[in-house]
Amino acid sequence: MARSRPFTWIAAAVFALVAVAHIVRVFTHFKFQIGSHNIPMWCSYVAIVVAAFLSWMLCREARGTSGP
What are the tens digits of pLDDT across the range 10-55?
A: 999 999 999 999 999 999 999 989 999 999 999 999 999 999 999 9
Higher pLDDT pick, 66 / 35: 35
48 with 15: CB under 8 angstroms? Answer: no
Domain segments of the chain: what residues? 6-63
Whole-structure pTM value: 0.82
Percent composition of the chain: helix, strand, coil (DSSP 3-state, to 5): 65, 10, 25
pLDDT band at 1 (very low <50, low <70, confident <90, very high): very low
